[in-house]
Amino acid sequence: MDIKTLENIDINLASISKINEVDFENLTFGNTFTDHMLICDYENGVWQKPVIQPYAPFTIDPSAKVFHYGQAIFEGMKAYKDERDDVWLFRPDQNFERFNKSATRMAMPEVPEDVFMGGLKRLLEIEKNWVKKGNGNSLYIRPFMIATGKGVVAAPAVFYRFMIILSPAKSYYSGEVKVLIAEHFSRAANGGIGAAKAAGNYSAQFYPTKLANEKGYQQIIWTDDATHTKLEEAGTMNVFFRINDTLYTAPTSERILDGITRKSIIELAKRENINVDVRPVLVDELIDAAKNGTLKEIFGAGTAAVINPIVGFSYKEDYFELPKIEKSFALDLKEKLTNIQYKVAEDTFGWTVKI
């Protein structure tokens, strides 16, 4: 894939950069933003000329539909810098495609490729100093779209705003992660919006996650809402289970986000001759495997953390600790994947795209 820089764009550069004020060694995830942002408005059925301008608050009407009816979607991707100072994206075509799928599900307009991809390239060219070298460093990219159209009547807006903001990130380490398996709460309905990266899916998880946190669990593994018997995904990650030497993960569905890390891990594991079985994984199976010692690993997979090993899980008041193992699939696959992302290993899949 080759991305063409967007030429039809207005650029209004910041007079001074904030970059020297930033402590790149002590970044917390998602709280620092670069000097510029991209904005493109959709008015009466037409995408307007995009603009890159200094990162700053913007004005919006109190009756904007995003506030009342939650028409809002986003993507999460990363830019990496290699040893030759080239900047790379990882499978950005997948993010672009998924963004427009989310848009359709939320009755929002699709964003054209030249705005999303070409605009992103242009923005990254301007902000390339914000992408730091070294394993774990990256520039987190947040494209999003909100309904700016006015009116407190529950119907799709006619005005929208697409934006891209950028946040420098250190390697994401969330400490030892213990998870709770959901018995009552759910993140998605059959025929609902779980497969879209829609804003409303995330706030729905905050309260149950807070309850889990209070019990000492950092995250929840969601189960299907109808029976709570199938293991589906974590808050912002897909989830893998290793029983003996096979990796299991749920098939994507209307309830589960089609994660790019997940699908990359599946391909990578196959290349490494690891058995991968994509099929519904039952809570009961997991408990049995934990009890009889065949459960070796559980890990989450997503852009922010890449792979996040889980040390234990709780279900119906029972806590199951995962064994410490020597040859961890999680750590091995994480290394192989990040080596591709940082251009340390050869990208035999053609996943990386140069800016």
The residues of the shown chain that bind ligand PLP, judged by CB under 6 A, are 76, 197, 233, 236-238, 257, 259-262, 301-303
Q: Name which of 3 and 337 has its Cβ closer to ligand PLP.
A: 337
Q: Which residues lie below 8 Å from residue 105, measured CB to CB, with a gap of 6+?
A: 193, 195, 196, 198
3-state secondary structure of 205: helix
Tokens matching residue 268:
């990578």
Number of residues binding to its own copies, judged by CB under 8 A: 72
Q: Name which of 36 and 334 has its Cβ closer to ligand PLP.
A: 334
Residue 107, binding choice from ligand PLP, its own copies, none, Cβ under 5 to 8 Å by partner class: its own copies
Q: What letter would DSSP give residue 182?
A: -
Q: Name which of 84 and 184 has its Cβ closer to its own copies.
A: 184
- Cα–Cα distance, 218 to 162 (Å, whole number): 32
CA 155 to each of CA 46, 70, 129, 144: distance values in angstroms, whole numbers, following the listed order: 19, 11, 42, 20
Q: Name which of 25 and 214 has its Cβ closer to its own copies.
A: 214
Residue 37, binding choice from ligand PLP, its own copies, none, Cβ under 5 to 8 Å by partner class: its own copies
Give the x-and-dash track for 11-50 against its own copies (CB under 8 A).
Answer: -----------------xxxx-x---x-------------
Give the x-and-dash track for 131-170 against its own copies (CB under 8 A).
Answer: ---------x-x-x-xx--xxxxxxx------x-x-x---
Minimum distance of its own copies from residue 225's CB (angstroms):
4
CA 214 to each of CA 207, 211, 296, 322: distance values in angstroms, whole numbers, following the listed order: 11, 5, 27, 21
For the segment 78-117, give every residue that binds its own copies (CB under 8 A): 104-107
Q: Which residues lie below 8 Å from residue 24, measured CB to CB, with a gap of 6+?
A: 132, 137, 168, 170
Segment holding 90, helix H or strand E:
strand 87-90
Phi/psi of residue 81, each to 5°? -110, 135
Tokens matching residue 256:
């589960």
Residue 259, binding choice from its own copies, ligand PLP, none, Cβ under 5 to 8 Å by partner class: ligand PLP
Residue 260, binding choice from its own copies, ligand PLP, none, Cβ under 5 to 8 Å by partner class: ligand PLP
Q: Which amino acid is at 246?
A: T
Of 40, 72, 89, 330, the residue at the interface with its own copies (CB under 8 A) is: 72
